[in-house]
Every structure is written in C-alpha cells, then in structure tokens.
A and B are shown apart, each in its own frame.
Chain A
C-alpha cells in the first residue's frame, strides 16, 4: 500500500511567537522550526501501519522553499521511504495547498492520505477536508484511532468531536486527519538520520505540477491580541469566595 503524508514546516510549538515590529508578519529569524506536530502524528501512524501490516510505500511531501527540506529529512529519518518537495515561494492558503496536494495525489496515486488536522501556525483546520472534496473521496477528520478493515478497502476510525468519540468507517482512498491522541511520534534516531541521507528526495517546481494555486486570503496586518492583565492574589479560600461574590459578581 502507498500512503501519502504531507509535512508542514512551522515554528516549533515550544518557541515563543514574536511579531515583527511593523506588523508584517511573525519573526522567523533565529526561530526553531519543526514538523507540524499533527503531521508528525500522521506520519507516525503510517509507520505503525507499516510495522503491523508489512511493507508500505510511505511518501512525505512538503510545499514551500528549500528550508522545508529540513522537515522532509526528519520525515525520512522517522522512516518514510521517499520525500517530495514542491518548491514555491508563493504565499499559500488552505485551498491553494489542497489544490497542490490534489495534483501530487494524482501523480502519486496513494491508497490514502494521512495528514495533520491543523497546522499550528495558521490554525486553519481546512486542508484535509478541502483535499477530500477536490478529489471526490471520503474524509475522516480528527482521528484518534485508525484501523484498516475489509481487506484494507476501508478505514475504521474514531474521531474526536466536541460531544465525544465518534466512530466512522470510510472507504479508501480517503483523507484521514490526525488528532493529538492518535499516537505519540517517535524521536528520530541516529541510524535513522544516517539512513535518511540515502533516501530519495525529489524537488519539483510548483509550475511543473501544472496547478494554478493562488491564495485568496491576504493577511494585511499581524498584531498581538489584547492581553489580559494579571489580577490579584487572594490569601485564602474565604477571600476568594468574597471576591467572586462581591467584586466580580460571578457567583
């Protein structure tokens, strides 16, 4: 089976996000970048399926500049067989990325796509669903348990919803988006890194894919959200109850 796993390069979740003073963007100088945590979970799940079911062709793909090669190498070091970089310097949004991934999908013909439910930079949570729509195939989003059933023609998934766990069985091919609880991704090992160096990493100009992918969203300005001020410390439980009753009047 072949699984396609998109990986996005994003600021590491543990770095502090700083804005450029002129509000034109987020400071990227000296910032540590990582594989979007949800994408790492998606890749980990693909690797676990391979461990369980036997050999798979796991292809990681990233869209962006040369810098994204760093994230693709992490993907290869984790255990993916092959990497593909779609090179572009253009600003993209979810729909544009979905269109590019749809073209990659047509080229690669995977059995399914495993991807993160959202990227922790733009927090959009759209691309997987849009990709499924463009391809006319099914989707299982926010997945925390995944099992291939019926001779691997379907995926039985548990989905994390606001109201609790939902169960859904989706026909393959499909887009499956990973939630946090699906698994805990492995760390890359030194032998993994050594092996990754020999694995194929293909670079393809976006133009060569033949997709017209123009972002419809334009960010005009970035600012810090209004911050909350620290309040007061209360010495005792009685004092807290008094404040809540008589000052904040919320109880």
Chain B
C-alpha cells in the first residue's frame, strides 16, 4: 500500500516532541501496509532540525529550506506540501495535531482534493483499507471511520501513539527546492507574543498543574499553580474560566478547544470538571483533583481526590514536595 509523508513540526528550528509520535504512527502503519515513510520539515535554516530527524527510520528526510518559509504561514506551507505530494507517491500525509498543523494540513488537503481526519487515536487495517478511530463531541464519542480516496490527510493525537524509537541507521537528507510558479503571498506574519519562558509546554511535560476558577487572580495563579508546578518540574495549564477572566493567557487553556494533554500526572486545582475540560485531560496517567466541593464532577474521573480549599492545601502540598 501507499507510502506515508510525515510533516514535522518545530518551533524556530526546535523539533516538537509530538512529531516523534506522528513518526511512531507512520512506522506502525507502514509496517502493516508494507510501505515506507518520509518526513518533511519546512522552514528557514533547517539544517540542525533536519539532522535531528535522521535517526527515526524514515526513507528520507525531506527539507524545504528557504527564507520565505521562515514564518508559519499556511499559504506557503500548504503550497510546499502540495508540491511534494504531487512529485512523489504518497497515500497518507500525517502530522501530530496542534494549532500549527490544524492550520496548514486542511489547506494542503483541499489543494490536493483529499479528505482529512483530525485527532486520530487509533488505526487498524482491514483487507484493502485502513480503519481509523477518532474522537468527536468533546471526547464523548469514539468513532470508527474510513476515509475514501487514494490520498488521505490525518492529524493524530500524540498521546495515542508511542513515539518512534531512535535507531542507528541515519536517513538521507534531501533538499526540496521551492515549487515552481509564484509563491503565495496572501498573508503577512506579524510575530508572536513573547512566551513566558522557564516552564515546559503542557503538551510535552510529564507533570501538568492546572488552575480553575477557584484561583482569584494572576498573582495567586503564579504563587499557587506556578509554585506547585515548579516544585514538580512541571508545566502549568488552566481551565477556560481563568482564560475568560483574563487571569491566564489562552495558550494555557486545556480542553476540547484548548490543548490536549496526557502527562503522567495531572493536578486539577479548583477545577469543576466540565466535559469540555475533561476532553483535554482524559488520557493522563494519573489525575489528582483538589476541590472544596465534594460533589464536583472532577472527582468522578480523578484517581486521587482531596476535598480541600486550594488556598490552604496547595501551599501545604508544595511545601511537602520541596522537603
């Protein structure tokens, strides 16, 4: 069966770990369909990024490396993907789900008249086709789906596929020239708001501490949620309630319409457990809830629940962890 193209994601050259899960999906799927997989990285000055992708069993590491590709603009990225897919023979184009890949992959899919599935969490093979599992309705429904057509676009949930393991054989790197014809120029990138440095991204961290409406202001969030996260070397996250009230930035939101996380340990601090929030944390290994309402729905899915006021319990917990 047909070959797979994995789209790598990086942040200014730094490879996103979720890419390794997309490669894991590709390795697993290629093994059952007797195909091979390539990985494509798009950007400017991609030398080291391409190098960092060589140990993962790809037939080739393809690099579209050019100054006009520096900004993460969908029009140009989709244009490159379209050209690469047209030149080579792929049956699947896949990336780990993120705001970056969800911006560019559907655009590339439509340019190639291909259908797409988002947030795939499982794949299996039938006689002549692949059958996928994906989540819908804020994680309330697991659907078994097929996608017709010789070319399929997918985003996968990183948490659902084991990252590919590095091997000793190095994949060859091939430079992809910019496609012929005029370069799309539909948008201008204006940069990104400086990210608060120092803590890992919630989608990549082993421990995530999230705060909810119980937290009254930004200082308390930093002291309680930030303090606990730092004691555990973890990332911070928040419910939408705190984003709405301006206490936390949107990039911290976890849930159906925010980030999907699957850490070893997720601590929900003063979060009620609305279905939309749970949609983003269900795959966590261990969930801890601290909430003063013994009937809060979060306790129905938490492995460990502590009924307490977060303003007293969290500082105490942080102090004990520091000992």
Listed in ascending order, the chain A residues whose CB lies under 8 Å from chain B are 11, 13, 17, 19, 26, 93-95, 98, 118, 120-134, 137-142, 144, 156, 159-171, 174, 179-181, 215-225, 227-228, 230-234, 236-238, 240-241, 243-244, 248, 250-251
Would you call B136 and A123 a contact (CB within 8 A)? yes
Question: A123-B135, A174-B187, A220-B146 are known contacts; what are 10 more A-B pairs with Cβ within 8 Å?
Answer: A124-B117, A129-B107, A139-B186, A140-B187, A141-B99, A162-B259, A165-B250, A234-B305, A237-B320, A250-B207
Would you call A120 and B137 a contact (CB within 8 A)? yes
Q: Which residue of A lies closest to B308 (CB)?
A: A237
Q: Quick one: which of B100, B104, B187, B300 has the most chain A CB within 10 A?
A: B187
Would you call A19 and B301 a contact (CB within 8 A)? no
Neighbouring A residues of B320 by C-beta, 8 Å: 237-238, 241
| Cross-interface CB contact of A168 among B116, B144, B189, B307, cutoff 8 Å | B189
Q: How far is the CA of A88 from the CA of B138 in the complex (A)?
A: 26
21 A-B contacts (beta carbon < 8 Å): A17-B138, A17-B141, A123-B119, A124-B117, A130-B107, A141-B74, A141-B99, A165-B192, A171-B186, A179-B250, A217-B115, A218-B148, A223-B141, A223-B144, A225-B141, A228-B303, A231-B303, A233-B304, A233-B306, A244-B288, A251-B232
Is B218 interfacial (CB 8 A cutoff)? no
Instruction: Fill in one digit per residue for B91-127: 1 if any A CB lies within 8 Å of its CB, else 0.
Output: 0000000111011111111110111111100000000
Q: For residue B261, give the distance in angstroms from its CB to the closest CB of chain A.
A: 11
Known pairs A167-B190, A223-B142; A122 contacts B136 (CB<8 A): yes
| Cross-interface CB contact of B195 among A132, A139, A163, cutoff 8 Å | A163
Would you call A129 and B119 a contact (CB within 8 A)? no
Q: How far is the CA of A93 from the CA of B320 in the complex (A)?
A: 52
Is B128 interfacial (CB 8 A cutoff)? no
The 8 A-B residue pairs with the shortest CB-CB distance, nearest first, are: A167-B190, A138-B186, A216-B115, A231-B303, A133-B110, A129-B106, A130-B110, A126-B106
Q: How far is the CA of A140 from the CA of B192 in the complex (A)?
A: 14
Is B162 interfacial (CB 8 A cutoff)? no
Q: How far is the CA of A120 from the CA of B188 in the complex (A)?
A: 30
Is B264 interfacial (CB 8 A cutoff)? yes
Instruction: Fill in one digit per residue for B288-323: 1 if any A CB lies within 8 Å of its CB, else 0.
Output: 100000000001111111111000010011001100
Would you call B240 and A233 a contact (CB within 8 A)? no
Would you call B190 and A240 a contact (CB within 8 A)? no
| Cross-interface CB contact of B265 among A17, A19, A161, A244, cutoff 8 Å | A244
| Cross-interface CB contact of B116 among A95, A134, A170, cutoff 8 Å | A95
Would you call B103 and A248 a contact (CB within 8 A)? no
Q: For residue B127, give the distance in angstroms from its CB to the closest CB of chain A.
A: 14
Would you call B186 and A250 a contact (CB within 8 A)? no
Instruction: Fill in one digit per residue for B188-223: 1 if any A CB lies within 8 Å of its CB, else 0.
Output: 111111110000010100010000000000000000
Q: For residue B70, give the distance in angstroms from its CB to the closest CB of chain A.
A: 14
Would you call B116 and A233 a contact (CB within 8 A)? no
Would you call A222 and B103 a contact (CB within 8 A)? no
Is B147 interfacial (CB 8 A cutoff)? yes
Q: For residue B323, give the distance in angstroms from its CB to the closest CB of chain A.
A: 9
Q: How far is the CA of A202 from the CA of B204 in the complex (A)?
A: 49
Neighbouring B residues of A231 by C-beta, 8 Å: 287, 302-305
Known pairs A164-B193, A167-B191; A248 contacts B316 (CB<8 A): no
Would you call A161 and B111 a contact (CB within 8 A)? no
Q: Which residue of A lies closest to B75 (CB)?
A: A138
Is B175 interfacial (CB 8 A cutoff)? no
Would you call A217 and B147 a contact (CB within 8 A)? yes
Would you call A250 and B264 a contact (CB within 8 A)? yes
Q: For residue A164, give the distance in angstroms from its CB to the closest CB of chain B.
A: 4
Is B66 interfacial (CB 8 A cutoff)? no
Q: For residue A37, give the distance in angstroms from its CB to the closest CB of chain B.
A: 9
Neighbouring B residues of A164 by C-beta, 8 Å: 192-195, 249, 251
| Cross-interface CB contact of A139 among B74, B116, B285, cutoff 8 Å | B74
Instruction: Fill in one digit per residue for B229-266: 1 if any A CB lies within 8 Å of its CB, else 0.
Output: 00010000000100110000111000011010000110
Is B276 interfacial (CB 8 A cutoff)? yes
Would you call A125 and B304 a contact (CB within 8 A)? no
Neighbouring A residues of B256 by C-beta, 8 Å: 120, 123
Would you call B102 and A141 a contact (CB within 8 A)? yes
Is B286 interfacial (CB 8 A cutoff)? yes
| Cross-interface CB contact of A244 among B75, B78, B203, B304, cutoff 8 Å | B304
Is B145 interfacial (CB 8 A cutoff)? yes
Q: How far is the CA of A164 from the CA of B113 in the complex (A)?
A: 31
| Cross-interface CB contact of A166 among B141, B191, B259, cutoff 8 Å | B191
Q: How far is the CA of A220 from the CA of B110 in the complex (A)?
A: 23
